[in-house]
Chain A
Amino acid sequence: AQKITQTQPGMFVQEKEAVTLDCTYDTSDQSYGLFWYKQPSSGEMIFLIYQGSYDEQNATEGRYSLNFQKARKSANLVISASQLGDSAMYFCAMRFNAGKSTFGDGTTLTVKP
């Protein structure tokens, strides 16, 4: 069965500091994609970053980077130089080439001024 686990229900970080949000996954498939989304209190879903299972380099998008450790089945999101606007719910998700996908339960990040 495919499963995403986000073990941190809530995280706090000081403004301008870096924070790591944990994501572990379970699948026996060899081909999959890992995604991170941000959901602010307004409710929309915002795509942040993608990592393919065959990608050898860790993905980066601006202040976001994905620490991909395939052998450990982890795909942690690192946010550098946190901003107040980063306060939101963050979801890790996995999708497969047949189209099926699964999401974790999310981590609420609060950035303190």
Chain B
Amino acid sequence: NAGVTQTPKFRILKIGQSMTLQCTQDMNHNYMYWYRQDPGMGLKLIYYSVGAGITDKGEVPNGYNVSRSTTEDFPLRLELAAPSQTSVYFCASSYHWNTEAFFGQGTRLTVV
């Protein structure tokens, strides 16, 4: 099993550009999450989804959008990138809310 796959692993964006971070899981998990991790800090929830067609905002959703058209995919869209969005982004999935989350390897994004 591949688990949770995130692409790309690294990206440099210019201020004002847009991009989509891809996330796919092959474990048939209902719950999916996007987090960002700033240096030396914990993870902050950006958006989450409890199933296909359902998404909800987390703690820091501004500047981001998500969609969940299938169980497997949960892309994160950054519109009009800003330096404050420089961070490491993690996608994760879990079968249920009270089961372990499996994380992707992370995407290191730099906005210059």
Report the bound CA distance from A30 to B103 in whole Å: 26
User: Interface majority SS on B: helix, strand, loop or mixed?
Assistant: strand
Contact size class for B?
20 to 34
Q: Mark out the residues of chain A between 83 and 111 whose CB falls within 8 Å of any chain B CB in the assembled complex.
A: 91, 93, 95-106
Smallest beta-carbon distance A38→chain B, Å: 11
Tally of contacts, chain A with chain B, CB under 8 A = 64
Q: Assess whether A44 is in contact with B56, with CB atoms less than 8 Å apart.
A: no
Stretch from A12-20, A45-53, A63-71, A72-80 contacting the other chain: A45-53
A-chain residues with CB within 8 Å of residue B42 when the two chains form the complex: 4, 91, 103-106
Smallest beta-carbon distance A8→chain B, Å: 13
**A interface list, Cβ under 8 A from B:** 4, 33, 35, 43-45, 47, 50, 52, 91, 93, 95-106
